Amino acid sequence: MGILDSFVHLLVGLVGQMGYFGIFFLMTIESSLVPFPSEVVMIPAGYLAQKGELNLYLAILVGTLGSLVGAYVNYALAYGLGRPFFEKYGKYLFVSREDFERACRFFTRYGPFTTFIGRLLPVIRQLISLPAGLAAMGLAPFSLYTALGAGLWVSVLALLGYLVGDNDVLVRAYLERFQAFLIAGCIFGLALYALARARKRKRNRARSASSKEEERAL
């Protein structure tokens, strides 16, 4: 058994032994800078709920709260340390320069809405809070978008564990389908969001031009 397999089995064991606190603690870590998949936390949590050892709704709530707290950690680090720090030292915090730049470009292109969409996308999921912190995004919209995105992803994983149980083959098959569906939905959502932003900019330019015409007339 490799180091990664041992680590995953340790996480699964912790979920079973520590219950809701284990879910919260591990999802907080997963949502910050430590790279391990949330699947190894929430799918076993759903399975334990199916066996009656946990409450499914409470597990989802706790997992979402853990993800939100982890996102706050990343936000605070980026806000306090700034972009140069992550460009230079990010690799020591499990944040490669390429992934960091990808998350920043994603946030710059689509704006604060990406803190919702990003929670549903691989790789971006753990990093999208960094550009939000760099941009000093308001905490209220950051919390709302992050909680909604994290809540949706956590719910998918927990329900998958609840419905499929410990059948690894079915878990992988359904998870791939869910991820494909979510990615397609994210692309559609981003397209609509970009279109709405473009229309808003167009209206603002039209209003600005109209105001200038009125000033000249006066």
Reported as a single tens digit per residue, the pLDDT across 72-123 is 999 999 888 888 888 887 777 777 778 788 888 878 777 778 888 888 877 7
- At 55, is the pLDDT very low, low, confident or very high (cuts 50, 70, 90)? very high
pLDDT at residue 155, rounded to an integer:
92
Work out the percent of the chain whose per-residue pLDDT is above 70: 70
pLDDT at residue 59, rounded to an integer:
93
d(CA 168, CA 94): 28
* Contact status, residue 90 vs residue 100, Cβ threshold 8 Å: yes
Pairwise pLDDT comparison (146 vs 212), residue with the higher score: 146
3-state helix, strand, coil in the chain (%, to 5): 85, 0, 15
What is the largest distance, in Å, between two alpha-carbon atoms of the chain?
80
d(CA 208, CA 214): 10
The pTM (predicted TM-score) of the whole model is 0.74
For 50, other C-beta atoms within 10 Å of its C-beta total 18
Instruction: Say how many domains are in the chain.
Output: 1
Work out the percent of the chain whose per-residue pLDDT is above 90: 16
Query: Angle 139-164/39-50 helices, nearest 10 degrees?
Result: 50
Domain range spanning residue 121? 3-217
pLDDT single digits (tens) 169-210: 555 655 666 666 666 666 666 666 667 767 777 776 766 666
